[in-house]
Structure 1
């Protein structure tokens, strides 16, 4: 057996150990990018190398393979690779950068727990190699303007989201007035500005966004609620270009990047549901539906006069007087 095939079988064993209901051939096809026949051959080899595997059929009559979980020596035998430890460290840094201290702390605990399960010599070697890998990759927190969060309020909201509990907020509105809100929290949107996505308990049943920098106080009520199973935070967030959403602004957006700017624009995903068209003259047209004209204008300014707003008219009028031709570089 080649080293590559042996490594693949060890990866299959990891998957069969970590997943409660085991793995199927479709899981292997997705993980290794192979075809159905190759996945079948791989599992026949897997059964030979790991005779303790449990094989069963699920409710859809698909065969599943599951490894017993009672032997902790498997983790010690496998160890932690330096690239895996570096990935955990990078995840911690990203969480800290995105003002998610709770997630950062939990990742650190997971990292320490994994290292504690390793022999000390192996753990030290993995830490040293991971530190060198991080340095070689040049990972650092991205500089740039962002609103510093209130970590106490963020901690309250994170705890409320986990339970979930309703929360009361003291909120500063755009007009300067202060009010108390009783909300069912559903998620946080991260960006230059951070928003809490929540549904007012005594409202019209619609989800709202609340800027975290305008929350003056937050308390957990101790009253739980049932989440709406039909609500999709990812789909809800895609209604906006950035963090801000306005039903009045929501609609089709169309931008045309010049042939000069097109190679750079192709590197961007402006919206998760965008449609891109290559024009005959080398230009690039991007279409999507969203709201948040102000955030769009902030971004479009960086492109100078190398992008034309085909629609909506309100956004075109907002940027037309501010397009410049003297920027030395594109975003």
Structure 2
């Protein structure tokens, strides 16, 4: 049995064991993205390799396969990618004021880690820390651009090992995609995902931002590089309001919310380093330092005429004549 088939069989066994009521042929086909005939073959292999597998018909006449979790206890472990995804989910809940749910997920994380064999924890934590260092701001709710699992996996692998990536990238400025070799430093997650990387064609230049969904393909080069040890993805992410950054725009941002919207605005976290100032007239001033004027405009539009941009002047001019007065509710 090839490594890929063995991996698929283990994934199937985990899937079956996690469903107390068992799974059907259609469930397996949808989960693994395979045809009905292939699903039949792999389920037969499951029965051969895991004798504890039970097959029976439910009240609707559908055949269901079940597997006791004990049969998998010594075969399963937690991967750094899965642990990083769990931590990212916890961070997402906390950033969206879902503290109770975040605490529940954190307890689940602790229970899972308690089941990981001690001899596997050291390697797990090393790769997990590398992934966390490369994660940007947690995703915000709302529309997001799609990113294929294959490309996402290649980026994740490159980040863990500080490995150069060869990407085929279609930028908005070019009519055709071009091949580039980059040194990935992290991923910023917002309405769009941005791969933060240095271009090998300009190694001494600034970090570049590649729109992840514009990467048509990604290939690991097998070439490794030494990251700048002073680089911190979280501090870097705070330079922007959303995900995209522009060093020329980076400056103090000052918004003033009317008294009628002040209490509502006070409940928002516009930026991790924001400063709130209550005014004598009941209005609220919010200050922070960031770039990303266009993403600020998209957000400010939702507040209608309930917010005034005091600084910077360029942002003030961008929203001028675009603030509506007929919105009946605040964001």
Q: TM-score, normalised by structure 2?
A: 0.58
Partner of 1:152: 150
CA distance in 2, matches of 1:92, 1:233: 15
Task: Report which stretch shifted further, 152-161 or 194-203.
Answer: 194-203
Quote how far apart the aligned CAs of 1:109 are: 10
CA distance in 1, matches of 2:160, 2:233: 15
Which residue does the alignment assign to 1:94? 89
Give 3-state SS (helix, strand or coil) of 1:308's partner: strand
Structure 1 position 202, deviation (Å):
2.9
What do you get for the CA RMSD once the two structures are aligned? 3.0
Match of 2:190 in 1: 191
Conserved? CA contact 2:164–2:222, under 8 Å: yes
TM-score by length of 1: 0.58
Q: Report the Cα offset of residue 292 of structure 1.
A: 0.9
Where structure 1 has 5 or more consecutive residues not aligned to the other structure, the ranges are 1-87, 99-106, 118-140
Residues 140 and 190 in structure 2, CA contact (< 8 A), matched pair in contact too: no
> Could you give the per-residue CA deviations for residues 29-81 of structure 1, whole angstroms, max 9, x where no partner exists?
xxxxxxxxxxxxxxxxxxxxxxxxxxxxxxxxxxxxxxxxxxxxxxxxxxxxx
Q: Tell me the CA shift for residue 169 of structure 1.
A: 0.9
Q: Equivalent residue of 2:168, what SS?
A: strand
Change (3 A) 1:230 1:112: closer
Structure 1's 93 and 162: CA in aligned 2 closer, same or farther, altered over 3 A? closer
In the alignment, the residues of structure 1 paired with residue 112 and residue 143 of structure 2 have an alpha-carbon distance, to the nearest angstrom, of 32
- Deviation string 1:2-43 (CA, Å, 9 cap, x unpaired) is xxxxxxxxxxxxxxxxxxxxxxxxxxxxxxxxxxxxxxxxxx
Superposed, 1:22-61 pairs within 5 Å as none
CA distance in 1, matches of 2:264, 2:255: 14
User: Structure 1, residues 184-237: CA drift from partner, whole Å, max 9, x if none?
Assistant: 111111111001111112313321111101101111111111111111111111
Gaps of 5+ in 2: 1-82, 94-106, 118-138
Q: Which secondary structure state, in structure 2, belongs to the residue aligned with residue 202 of structure 1?
A: coil
| 2:272 aligned residue | 272
Number of corresponding residues = 212
What aligned pairs does 1:70-81 form with structure 2 within 5 A after superposition?
none
